[in-house]
Amino acid sequence: MREILLYFSVKYYGNWDKIYNALKAKENIDYSLYKQIINRYKRKKYVTIIDENYPKNLKNIAFPPFVLYYQGNFDLLMKEKIIWIFGAEIPETKYKEIYNLKLEFDQKDITLIIGQSNFFENIFLKNCNLKKMILIKDSGIDSQIIIDFELEKKILNNNSLIISESPDYILPTKKQWYKSNKIKIGLSNGIFLYNTRKEKDIFNVISHVILENKKIYCYFNHFFDNNLNFELIKHGGIEINNIGELIKKWQKN
């Protein structure tokens, strides 16, 4: 059955609705294409929703991926402390702070989830140490569109993990980014908002986090101009001044 899931996932480029409809309708299999797909992916790493090692947290979200393609340290998904880090556009003067913040997470043994397409995500990837983190790709698992091969190589060499719901050579789009956000939410214990501004991406992310009933942790840096995290704190966001405080409030909640 797992090979059938792989077949439909590749045939329909990871599109959840099309895969679901094909399974529901018991769509006939093109055995020539089936053999091509099985041969092409026999040396690649993937996990299906019926496998024992499929992340349990993902099964609880709406439309969990039928197949996850991955490279790297899959054991990171078994960690208890996993958080999705996200934010708004940031100036170059804050890039060093991002590097130091990642070190704080490492010291507390917190595994970070990050994407690749948003401005904050892209800057974060290029300004942190890339150790023991989970990158959720918006493109196919073998596509190097937004981040190049060398950066991906560094991620894998640092004992990190790369995941995608999409098979090879799927281009990153806004829709793909939205799809990958549900995986970030499902795998994490909540979201850590580095900073917030009035941006469509931010509101989209926050609404998805709320729908999945996950916590919103707001990093409150008093020296960051135009940070609207304080507004979120007024409406139920959890104020975080340092990573040690995050651990305490994590345990409390």
What whole-number percentage of the chain has pLDDT above 70? 94
Higher per-residue confidence, 145 vs 89: 89
What whole-number percentage of the chain has pLDDT above 90? 46
Task: Domains for the chain: give ranges and CATH numbers.
Answer: 2-71 (no CATH), 74-252 (3.40.50.450)
pLDDT digits (tens, 9 = 90+) for 183-221: 999 999 899 999 888 777 777 888 888 888 889 999 987
pLDDT digits (tens, 9 = 90+) for 72-127: 999 999 998 999 999 888 888 888 888 999 999 999 999 999 988 788 888 899 89
Contact by Cβ (8 Å): 115, 181: yes
Going from the C-alpha of 148 to that of each of 20, 44, 125, 144, 155, the distances in angstroms are 32, 19, 11, 5, 11
Encoded amino acid at 41, one letter: Y
For the whole model, what pTM was predicted? 0.90
Quote the tokens at residue 93: 């003067």
Residues 6+ apart with CB under 8 A from 224: 94, 195
Most confident region among 18-22, 124-128, 146-150 by mean pLDDT: 18-22
Contact by Cβ (8 Å): 73, 133: no
Distance CA 63, CA 233 (A): 29
